[in-house]
């Protein structure tokens, strides 16, 4: 099944060969594509014409992918996939901690990129369709934590948190059943869907990012617990 033309992908890379070949591949799959040659160009364009998902190269002139992601995350939870150098694991970890939803190493298979894009868009669309039928009683309330899936809103002690789609889904999976341990495979399924391979380190980075956002508004936050060698759980009992 091809993507709806309403699915617009922002492709940001200073390599014109990649812009050309990937945009052709995505358009062949039914996506609309907006291309940008660097981060500054993309920031201007996306402020005027938001996309459904962005694919960002990390190393670019004028404004690199890291800085662009940081600025985008101030206003948007749009799904973001990073393109990273083959051996640059530091960039991968930093990107995920800053709020990227996924990463792909160069050189990459265009089919793999299309699959990852579809997975991110599909989970967002499924979540939106599911939430359209939700009622107010289905808001998740766990002590000081409030999550409204239908509005993609999260607050802690009445203070709002700006979570990415991935972060929101991970937190919802943990908070839905406090005290129950979720291993990394279960969290990957919750955040990315089944049949999508994601490195365990990706989940760990997202959890670290979640904790950082909570501790930015409450330094005593400790509800997301790590069980080493097992997984994670949300411990409601630690709420004051």
Domains and CATH numbers, the chain: 8-128 (3.40.50.2300), 134-238 (1.10.10.10)
Please check whether residue 205 is in contact with residue 97, taking contact to mean a CB–CB distance below 8 angstroms: yes
Give Cβ neighbours of residue 76 (< 8 Å, ≥ 6 apart): 46, 50
DSSP 58: S
Per-residue pLDDT of the chain (240 residues; tens, 9 = 90+): 444 447 899 999 999 999 999 999 999 999 999 999 999 999 999 999 999 999 999 888 888 888 998 898 888 888 899 888 755 555 556 666 677 888 888 888 888 899 889 888 887 776 656 555 544 447 889 999 999 887 788 999 999 998 888 889 899 999 998 999 999 888 888 887 766 666 777 888 889 989 999 999 999 999 999 998 899 999 987 544
In contact, 97 and 71? CB cutoff 8 Å: no
Name residue 227's beta-bridge partners. 231
Phi, psi angles (nearest 5°) of residue 121:
-70, -40
């Amino acid at each position: 099944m091809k993507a709806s033309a309403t699915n617009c992908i922002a492709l940001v890379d200073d390599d014109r060969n990649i812009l050309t070949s990937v945009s052709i591949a995505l358009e062949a799959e039914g996506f609309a594509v907006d291309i940008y040659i660097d981060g500054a160009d993309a920031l201007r364009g996306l402020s005027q014409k938001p996309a459904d998902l962005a694919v960002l190269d990390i190393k670019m002139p004028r404004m690199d992918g890291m800085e662009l992601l940081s600025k985008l995350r101030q206003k948007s939870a749009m799904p973001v996939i990073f393109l990273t150098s083959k051996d640059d694991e530091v960039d991968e970890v930093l990107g995920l901690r800053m709020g990227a939803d996924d990463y792909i190493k160069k050189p990459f298979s265009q089919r793999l990129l299309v699959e990852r894009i579809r997975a991110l868009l599909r989970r967002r669309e499924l979540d939106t369709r599911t939430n359209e039928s939700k009622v107010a009683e289905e808001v998740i309330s766990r002590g000081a934590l409030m999550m409204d899936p239908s509005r993609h809103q999260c607050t802690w002690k009445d203070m709002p948190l700006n979570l990415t789609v991935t972060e929101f889904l991970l937190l919802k999976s943990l908070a839905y059943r406090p005290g129950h341990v979720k291993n990394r495979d279960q969290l990957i399924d919750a955040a990315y869907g089944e049949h999508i391979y994601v490195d365990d380190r990706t989940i760990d980075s997202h959890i670290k990012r979640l904790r950082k956002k909570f501790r930015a508004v409450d330094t005593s936050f400790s509800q997301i617990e790590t069980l080493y060698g097992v997984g994670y759980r949300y411990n409601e009992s630690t709420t004051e």
